[in-house]
Amino acid sequence: MSEAYILVVDDEPDIRMLLQDVLEDEGYQVALAGSVAEAKAQRRSRRPDLILLDVWMPDGDGISLLKEWGDDEGLPCPVVMISGHGNVETAVDATRLGAYDFIEKPLSIEKLLITLNNALEAARLQRENVGLKRHAGTVADPVGDSATMVNLRDQVQRMAQHDTWVLITGEPGVGKQTFARLLHARSARRESPFIVVSVGSLSGEEAIAELFGSEQGEHVRYGLLEQAAGGVLFLDEVAEMDLQTQGRLLHALDTQRITRIGGNQPISVNVRVIAGSQYDLAEAVKQGHFREDLYYRLNVLPLTIPPLREHPEDIPELLECHMRHLHQQEGLPPRAFQRPALERLQQYHWPGNVRELRNLVQRLMILGSGDEITRDEVERTLSGQPQRAEEGGEGTVAIPDLPLREAREQFEREYLQQQLERSEGNMTRLAERVGLERTHLYRKFKALGIDPKRVKSDS
């Protein structure tokens, strides 16, 4: 947090200079504005991490400016109001409009610094919570004590000590984003944002606007590169990025400067890039689908995540970890694997890797019954067959004790989740497998509470 960028907006030059001296002594970067117009210009030129905003200024007031910024894509960062003419009504208005706090003049420097630190920490925690929600359903750190996993964690630890770009490759579901988050957590940028770019969901001008931001009149939209300032930009499935965006991104990151769409002022950016791909980028370069210069820039520090079938000794620990995680996060009843069941799972080839393992554990916890999981139950689950009733005799199907509508929804949810996993999150392939149009599929997902993006969350 010591390098946070703070915008100080106050019409009194002495107070501006005092705050600049104090904040720079504390290690913050500081920009100054003495009016509403200057504040707008400074906010446009660079996304601040925090704004100190005076209420009264010669060309307007801070409360109106706070409301304007809140209406325009939401407040870009925590805002702390300061005023020598404050009252309870003004403080209430500021808080209602999203201000983090309201401090009266004359300023207590000690109180001010505590407030700023708390505001920056609250913003960091909020970013982490958003990231965790998007990453929900997965275990936070790579699991396993095999020689393979120990070596991978050692590589990540060494890579974390440098600020070079990293390319993480591996089959779908091996946990590329999990290792990227581990690398970020062990680096000097750990206190700064970790921003995920789902490259496959972007195309053309949409991708450029999402990455670089845009300007139109007073309206400013901060792109993902600015949001990742000081931290990490994770390019999920970077091979799916179109060539135009690849070129523009490479130039921006090499020069550490971007220009928003509709803007004309270059903006400094400082981010570390970690890219993930299930494809052979060298082959993509040969085929003309990926820029050679970007490939070599990314491939300075390569990290290859092997498939789960190459370290089956980690499977028991992975099963236990995901069982515990699902019990804690979703309240599912825990169960124990019998030894023959564990042996069968260690022999399985796991085409979907760790993501498939997690989904299998979830199915066994939701649809199974009894405290223990048998080899026969594992076989049926792996083959996609319905669970047999414990007491219904051979070949009978367990009938859930639910109303017909809820039972049908449960079946549809489980069926579509399995098919989505087998289609590796590809909606076109999924539509072909299940015989439904994509529009109908998306409506089904919404009605059943299925997020198709979660299939890629541990890619």
**Which tokens belong to 100?**
């983090």
Is the model's pLDDT at 265 over the cut of 70?
yes
Question: Which of 282, 306, 330 marks a domain boundary?
Answer: 306
Hey, what amino acid is at 281? Answer: L
- Answer yes or no: is pLDDT of 350 > 80: yes
CB burial string 201-218: b at 16+ within 10 A, e below: ebeeeebbbbbbbbbeee
Averaged confidence pLDDT in the chain: 84
- Count: domains in the chain: 4
Q: Which residue has the higher pLDDT, 277 or 105?
A: 277
Give the pLDDT band (50/70/90) at residue 141: confident
Q: Is the pLDDT of residue 143 over 80?
A: yes
CATH number of the structural domain spanning residue 280: 3.40.50.300
pLDDT at 129: 60
Q: CATH number for the domain including 18?
A: 3.40.50.2300
* β-bridge pairing 272-277 and 232-236: parallel
Please tell me whether residues 190 and 117 are part of one structural domain: no
Asked if residue 140 belongs to a domain, the reply is: no
Based on the fold, state whether residues 244 and 315 are members of the same structural domain.
no
Mean pLDDT of 43-57: 89
Backbone angles phi, psi at 197, to 5 degrees: -110, 110
Residues 412 and 364 in one domain: no
Q: Clarify whether residues 270 and 330 are in a common domain.
A: no
Question: Is the same domain home to 349 and 443?
Answer: no
Tell me which amino acid residue 364 is.
L
1 pLDDT exceeds 80?
no
Structural domain span for residue 167: 150-306
Whole-Å CA distances, 347 to 101, 142, 379, 424: 58, 21, 12, 22
| Domain-embedded: residue 356 | yes
Question: Among residues 50, 457, 43, 4, which one has the least CA distance to residue 192?
Answer: 4
What is the rounded CA–CA span in Å between residue 455 and residue 426? 9
For the entire predicted model, the pTM comes to 0.69
Same domain? For 182 and 249 the reply is yes
Top-confidence residue, 127 or 110: 110
Nearest residue to 314 via CA among 177, 459, 175: 175
In sequence order, what are the beta bridge partners of 51?
Answer: 7, 79
Whether 138 maps to a domain, the answer reads no
> Are 320 and 452 within one domain?
no
pLDDT at 149 over 90: yes
Same structural domain, 289 and 316? no
- In tens, the pLDDT along 75-91 reads 888 999 998 776 677 87
Give domain status of residue 452, yes or no.
yes
In this structure, the answer to whether residues 9 and 26 fall within a common structural domain is yes
397-456 pLDDT, tens per residue?
445 555 666 666 777 777 788 778 777 777 777 777 777 776 677 777 877 778 776 655
pLDDT of the residue at 204: 66
> Do 235 and 373 belong together in one domain?
no
CA contacts within 13 A on the Cβ side of 193: 23
| Domain containing residue 337: CATH number | 1.10.8.60
In this structure, how many other beta carbons lie within 10 angstroms of the beta carbon of residue 67? 16
What is the mean pLDDT of the segment spanning 352-364? 90
Most confident of 13-17, 66-70, 105-109, 328-332: 13-17
Distance CA(202)–CA(413), nearest Å, equals 27
Q: Are residues 297 and 329 located together in one domain of the fold?
A: no
Dihedral angle sign, alpha carbons of residues 45, 47, 52, 55:
positive
Residue 401 confidence (pLDDT): 53
Q: Using one digit for the tens of pLDDT, what is the confidence trace for 212-239?
A: 988 887 788 888 999 898 899 999 999 9
Quick one: pLDDT at residue 388? 47
Kind plus residue range of the DSSP H or E element containing 109: helix 109-134
Query: Sign of torsion, CA 416 421 426 429?
Result: negative
Residue 404 has a pLDDT of: 61
Give, in order, the Cα–Cα distances in Å from 319 to each of 207, 314, 324: 37, 9, 9
Residues near 262 by beta carbon (within 8 Å), at least 6 away in sequence:
214, 215, 216
What's the CATH number where 406 sits?
A: 1.10.10
Same domain, 155 and 230: yes
